[in-house]
Chains A and B, each alone.
Chain A
Amino acid sequence: MRIALFVTCLGDTIAPGAGRASVAVLERLGHEVVFPEEQTCCGQLHWNSGYQREARRLARRFERLFGGFDAVVSPSSSCVGTLREAFGVRNVYELSELLVGRLGVEDVGASFPRRVAYHSTCHSLRITRVGDAPFRLLGAVRGLELVALPRADECCGFGGTFAVKNPDVSTAMADDKCDAIEASGADVCTALDASCLLQIGGRLARRGSAVQTMHLAEILASEAPA
């Protein structure tokens, strides 16, 4: 299948690993990935911050670039949710959703022998509603031990500009999330959104924690050393 990748503004400039890993997984499964190079941002940042005119312009730009594809994949449930709910875009899928729901794949041939906690990001849980797709994918990764995360459905405190507009509440939320991750005994915390991982990883690092953060795509792209 020919699949267009929307890497997102954050995934282009700050966390390119998730996009590279998405390409690796899809190509390993025999799909053709294309990257419309004019892409930038879906408009979520402006939309959620009260700048709707700019947001609509960016959403229209997205439509122009991606409207012609059967399937667009993005390693961000948050951007996918906004494109769908706020802007009515229909042909866009979050990566785990595309793999399990549309392509019917659970075992992507990955190997990752570590203890992993999966953080259900708010938008994957309640907006994009990816269901158990990430768990099915993680369950098929060789060597991976999935550990339960207490209060898994609770927000990490990122929330886009919320993290800087309300830094104290945001940090209190991050601390509770980090406590839960550390209590879980995980080596790695994973999620479907690089943005939430920026918050969780940033707080974990500041607390001096040894727990790493990785996007789900990066785990799915991991292969056993030859």
Chain B
Amino acid sequence: MTTLRPFPLAARQELRNAQLRTNLRHATDTIRAKRARVVGEAPDWEELRDAAAAIKDDVLARLDRYLEQFADAVEAAGGHVHWAEDAAAANAVVVDVARRHDVTSVVKMKSLTTDEIRLNEALEAAGVEALETDFAELILQLDDDWPSHILVPAIHRNRREIRDLFARTISPGLVSDDPAALAEASRRYLRERFLAARVGVSGANFAVAESGTICVVESEGNGRMCTTLPEVLVSVVGIEKLVPTLADLEVFLQLLPRSSTGERMNPYTSLWTGVRAGDGPQELHVVLLDNGRTRVLGDATGRAALRCIRCSACLNVCPVYTRAGGHAYGSVYPGPIGAILTPQLVGIENASTLPFASSLCGACADVCPVRIDIPAILVHLRAKAVAATRRPGERAVFALVAAAFGGARRLALAHRLGRIAQRPFTRAGRIRSLPGPLAAWTRTRDLDPLAPRSFRDWWRAR
């Protein structure tokens, strides 16, 4: 695993893009308002959240048993199950299926899990083109770009940019940037490819242990094309996607669309169980992916991150995400959930700045449909980051401050020394420029100096 670029540097670069901030603000404001409306009309919303958290915690506590139950059910229904410890193992399964069927291309529906394992690159290296069929994923693929939002991967693009891209690639001569015209251009391009495709690739929103059923929710219908038209279907499923029973879907199919797109119900909900003669794919491969998930499971506090159903509500309310955008997080999982999931999946030493990419404002925890206490996990991971990295200067400062807080007389002494030290930097009762780490503050903000008379001195003198 390579180490991610530090978040503060990545964010600084993204912040220079004023268009990105405007797009993000507009898009996230719209989704937030829609979400608030449909959540507000659900009378048992808090109970649904409790139920979802309890179901997911049960799955995580007994994951080994549920996985075996699921795998047995898939095989009993005529599917093939593959266990993949990491990205390379999962990609190898898909490449192998493509080779055995002698295809040079596969059609794909939107799947974060396949983005996580960089399946498209692995297929390309094997001479197989992976065609993204989700509208936004198609845009990104055509421009060699990368998702910046869980639900709205091309949220950082506006329609003029998309019109120009389509005119350059799939729809020469396209003039209109009307959303309907853009959708029509992609539809024409994709329809031919759907009909010719022999292998489809999907992810999964939920996998039902008792029946071996895989469930996918989507808006465009391209996913249903990918999962029904080709003869062969490969579904890549993160092991945390399990739910025990079909009845449990009742909870999640209410929570997910309302939290995600702000709809009461999403347009397409597809469920498939194994294979059935004469109907849909005749060969089904299910790849059960670990790729760091059992490591997350081993952390009693951090494991709640595996409850996540990828709704993206936390992104839309996050004041950091809405300024910095998704790319700054350096992973397919951006925003608050990414800040707790990515460091756990790839190792804290490789993503040590992500747990600090939050003001701990708590807006994410308030909207999370599965009640992940994201701020608490961020704080937990900060301690792990401090333990895993050197930070000599910072360590010394925090040790010094802790020592000063160790007694009232020491704090009073520190206050007096600080008053002397700040003198050269103080003008008319304000500090406008400081050296060292505090320059990060004074570059853009004035700082109130240490008070001439501390509270305790005032108290004593009164």
Interface residues in chain A, defined as those with a beta carbon under 8 Å from any beta carbon in chain B: 7, 9, 11-16, 19-20, 35, 37-41, 45-52, 54, 57-58, 61, 86, 122-123, 125-127, 153-155, 157-174, 198-199, 201-203, 205-206
Assess A40 versus B365: contact at CB under 8 Å? Given A14-B450, A162-B358, A173-B323.
Answer: no
B364-410 interface (Cβ within 8 A of A):
365-366, 379, 382-387, 398-399, 401-402, 404-408
Chain B residue nearest to A38 in the complex (CB): B408
How far is B414's CA from A86's CA once the two chains are assembled, in angstroms? 27
Q: Is the CB–CB distance between B451 and A123 below 8 Å?
A: no
Which residues of B are found within 8 Å of A7, using beta-carbon distances? 455-456
Report chain A residues within 8 Å CB of B418: 13
Given that A48-B379, A57-B402 are known contacts, is A202 also in contact with B448, CB under 8 Å in the complex? yes
Shortest beta-carbon distance, B313 to chain A, in Å? 15
Q: Are B360 and A48 in contact (CB under 8 A)?
A: yes
20 of the cross-chain contacts (CB-CB < 8 Å) are A11-B455, A13-B414, A14-B450, A14-B451, A40-B406, A49-B386, A50-B384, A54-B398, A122-B363, A159-B361, A161-B356, A162-B358, A163-B441, A164-B440, A166-B357, A168-B12, A169-B11, A173-B320, A201-B448, A206-B444
Residues of the A chain whose Cβ atoms lie less than 8 Å from the Cβ of B404: 40
B residues contacting A by CB (< 8 A) are: 7-8, 11-12, 15, 21, 319-320, 323-324, 353, 355-363, 365-366, 379, 382-387, 398-399, 401-402, 404-408, 411, 414-415, 418, 430, 432, 437-438, 440-441, 443-451, 453-456, 458-460
Inside 8 A of B399's CB, which chain A residues have their CB?
54
Residues of B within 8 A of A35 (CB): 456, 459
Contacts A11-B455, A50-B382, A122-B362; A167 near B405 (Cβ below 8 A): no
Within the complex, the shortest CB–CB distance from A119 to chain B, in Å, comes to 12
Q: How far is the CB of B383 from chain A (nearest CB, A)?
A: 5
**Across the interface, which residues of B come within 8 angstroms of A49, CB to CB?**
382, 386, 398
Residues of B within 8 A of A158 (CB): 359
A50 to B385, Cβ gap below 8 A? yes
Q: Are A167 and B441 in contact (CB under 8 A)?
A: yes
Q: B214 to nearest A CB, angstroms? A: 36
Cα separation A35 to B418 with both chains bound (whole Å): 23
Q: Is the CB of A169 within 8 A of B455?
A: no
Residue of B nearest to A165 (CB): B356
| Contact call B363/A126, Cβ cutoff below 8 A | yes
Q: How far is the CB of A156 from chain B (nearest CB, A)?
A: 8
A212 and B460 CA atoms in complex are apart in Å by 29
- On chain A, the residues within 8 Å of B11 by CB distance are 166, 168-169
Question: Which applies to chain B's interface (DSSP): helix, strand, loop or mixed?
Answer: helix
A126 touches B365 (CB 8 A): yes
Q: Provide the residues of chain A in CB contact with B449, threshold 8 Å.
A: 14
From the candidates A15, A50, A61, A163, name the one contacting B451 in the complex (CB within 8 A): A15
A172-B447 contact in complex given A46-B398, A122-B361, A205-B430, C-beta closer than 8 Å: no
State A170–B11 Cα separation when bound (angstroms).
11
Asked whether B446 lies within 8 Å of A206 as measured between CB atoms, the reply is yes
- B448 and A14 form a contact (CB under 8 A): yes
- Closest approach, in angstroms, between the C-beta of B189 and any C-beta of chain A? 38
In the complex, A14 Cα to B357 Cα: how many Å?
26
B460 CB to nearest chain A CB (Å)? 8
- A201 → B minimal CB distance (Å): 7
Q: How far is the CB of B65 from chain A (nearest CB, A)?
A: 34
What is the CB-to-nearest-CB distance from B266 to chain A, in angstroms, rounded to a whole number? 27
B405, A9: Cβ atoms under 8 Å? yes
Q: How far is the CA of A160 from the CA of B356 in the complex (A)?
A: 11
Least Cβ distance of B16 to chain A in Å?
9
Q: Which residues of the partner chain A approach B411 to less than 8 Å between Cβ atoms?
A: 9, 12-13, 40-41
Q: In the complex, which of the residues B382, B446, B455 contacts A20, with contact meaning CB atoms closer than 8 Å?
A: B455
A122 to B405, CA, bound (A): 25
Q: Which B-chain residue is minimally distant from A9 (CB atoms)?
A: B405
- The answer to whether A12 and B405 have CB atoms under 8 Å apart is no
B408→A157 contact, CB < 8 A: no
Across-interface contacts of A15 in B (CB, < 8 A): 448, 451
Count chain B CB atoms within 10 A of each CB in A12, A20, A159, A160 and give the residue with the most: A12
Contact A202 B441 (CB under 8 A): yes
B356, B449, B460 pick with most chain A CB within 10 angstroms: B356
The reply to whether B444 and A166 contact each other, CB–CB distance below 8 Å, is: no
A58 to B398, CA, bound (A): 13
Q: Which of A54, A159, A160, A165 contacts B8 (CB 8 A)?
A: A165
